[in-house]
Amino acid sequence: MTEVTSKSADLAHSQRPGRLDSMRRLYHKALLAIKPPIDITDEYITWLCNINAGILVPGNLYCMDYAIRSLPSQAPILEIGSFCGLSTNVITYLKDTHAARNALITCEPWKFEGAREGANVGASQITQAEYHQYARESFLRNTRLFSRQALPYTVEMLSDDFFQAWSEQREVEHVHGGQIQLGGPLSFCYIDGNHAYGQVHRDFENCDAYLESGGFILLDDSADGWGWEGVRRVAAEVRRRIDYELVIKNPNYLFRKK
């Protein structure tokens, strides 16, 4: 097991804009207080992060790289929570780097925590509906440029609905146009959706149901000390399971299924 004890925060580019202010404060405080995690950021990732909305902590990049170069098969990779596509594009880049041919499937409803239907964004004249549509359009634009060599199959669903469709092996539409047949095993799951304990727990259990032996699960914002309570609880539960091993803590948790 590789363990890095840094507490640097991954603010998560996913489905949580309602919490961004407090998360940013925590992130900057953490960066000042402790040394950063293992960082394999290269020139491409630097340019990508400068233009693609979202925040990617270097520790997650290292964990993703480890998982993708160690995939047990060519079964799909699943990302739960895509926001504007930063981590999606990073995964595509790492797939290229390691010549991984696994399809990347993502689920993202572009429905954000804390948003009130029909309300405006704060005191502005921008509606929540416009905000959500802008995020969706940003995702499409970003992935069509930075992942054009292997576009992700992004399904516009909440993760619970997505896994129901997966269990039924449904054919569904993806946002880049066309259909995808869901179902079957998964090789790597990046869980970065709603961070409430109940939802993270369901996302983990649903991933576990289809994850291959030797496959990986990365829990965003699971770091000890600063990570979100619900995600930390799930990480602690997984650490007690005999069918999973902790591979990396950098500072978020990457697990491998035995």
pLDDT at position 81: 96
Which CATH number covers residue 44? Answer: 3.40.50.150
Least confident of 28-42, 48-62, 117-131, 176-190: 28-42
Question: What is the number of H-type helices and E-type strands within the chain?
Answer: 8, 10
Confidence class for position 163, pLDDT limits 50, 70, 90: very high
pTM: 0.87
CA torsion angle 164 218 226 35 (round to 10): -160
* Domain of 216, in residue numbers: 2-257
Closest to 74 in 3D by CA, of 103, 106, 98: 103
Number of structural domains found in the chain: 1
The H-assigned helical ranges of 13-127 are 20-33, 43-51, 58-69, 86-97
Residue type, 94: L
How far apart (Å, rounded) are the C-alpha atoms in residues 45 and 61?
9
What confidence tens digit (pLDDT) does each residue in 5-21 have?
332 333 333 444 445 54
> Coil, strand or helix: which one is 10?
coil
